[in-house]
Homo-oligomer: A and B are copies of this chain.
């Protein structure tokens, strides 16, 4: 999460374009969680064109964990639909570069890594629906704890496509029952940001042995009057890519998302 100091220092980053330009000119390289309220943020995946077709099919077959917000033309680092003069090579705070499944670099720009055969995918993330939940007065434990969201690998298998396969990864938010019901209503409005939960209640039913031991992120307490509510998570495609061990891939670094020009409210289907 961004520190309070980061928050104050970057409070002038109030639009998606502000954030992108600050990344591009090198003045910002932090966590995007609290920036540009109301603007859609997304996960970034960049793959060579020979894998892009399979990944596109994988996303299409698994829309809850992999909701596609945009796909670039082959070789293009631009997705005009998501941002005016958006340049995917420079406009995120930090990237990860992968070779044969291994992380080899965490650069602040991928200009030197760009190739004419690359295709970029932007995948919706839960920040949009979390903003809607908070706006509705539903407290989120990881936010109040200043922690990262708890994420777990499950026994729910995604639909494979080509080299891409693996378990669905879910994020968990503990909620009182009435808030869980309201959260189903609110997040159902955002199918492009993982939509409604995939499970609630007994974690063992989806293969989670211990809520206190998340596979990613931080553990948060679940109170006796709360029910754990599980949403499909954007880490799912990252895990599928890691499993596929492509010769070359690039992604955003954790917490360093693409901030777009699109408004969260544009994606509410109701």
Residues of A near any B CB (own CB < 8 A): 177-178, 180-182, 184-185, 188, 196-202, 205, 225, 227, 270
Hey, which chain B residues are within 8 Å of A227, CB to CB? 200-202
A198 closest partner in B (C-beta): B178
Given contacts A180-B201, A200-B200, A201-B201, 9 further A-B contacts (CB under 8 A): A177-B200, A181-B184, A181-B196, A181-B198, A184-B184, A185-B185, A185-B188, A200-B201, A270-B270
State how many angstroms separate the Cβ of A233 from the closest Cβ of chain B: 16
- Bound CA–CA A177/B199 (angstroms): 6
Pick the most buried of A181, A184, A196, A198: most chain B CB atoms within 10 A of its CB.
A181
Is the pair B202, A181 in contact by a Cβ cutoff of 8 Å?
A: no
CA distance A205 to B202 in the complex (A): 17
Is the pair B184, A205 in contact by a Cβ cutoff of 8 Å? no
Distance in angstroms between the alpha carbons of A200 and B200 in the assembled complex: 10
Rounded to whole Å, the gap between the CB of A158 and the closest CB of chain B is 15
* Copies of this polypeptide in the complex: 2
Chain B residues closer than 8 Å to A188, beta-carbon distance: 184-185
Q: How far apart are A159's CB and chain B's nearest CB, in angstroms?
A: 16
Residues of B within 8 A of A196 (CB): 181-182, 184-185
Q: What chain B residues lie within 8 Å of A178 (beta carbons)? A: 198-199
- B200–A180 touching, CB < 8 Å: yes
Residues from chain B with a CB closer than 8 A to the CB of A177 are 199-202, 205
Q: How far is the CB of A205 from chain B (nearest CB, A)?
A: 6
A227 to B201, CA, bound (A): 7
Docked complex Cα distance between A225 and B199 (Å): 11
Q: Which residue of B lies closest to A180 (CB)?
A: B200
**Chain B: CB-nearest residue to A227:** B201
A-B pairs with beta carbons under 8 Å apart, 10 shown: A177-B200, A177-B201, A178-B198, A180-B200, A181-B196, A181-B200, A184-B188, A185-B188, A200-B227, A201-B227
| With contact pairs A199-B177, A199-B178, A200-B177 given, residues A205 and B185 touching in the complex (Cβ less than 8 Å) | no
Contact partners of A185 in chain B: CB under 8 A: 184-185, 188, 196
Nearest Cβ in chain B — how far from A153, in angstroms? 18
CA distance A248 to B198 in the complex (A): 49
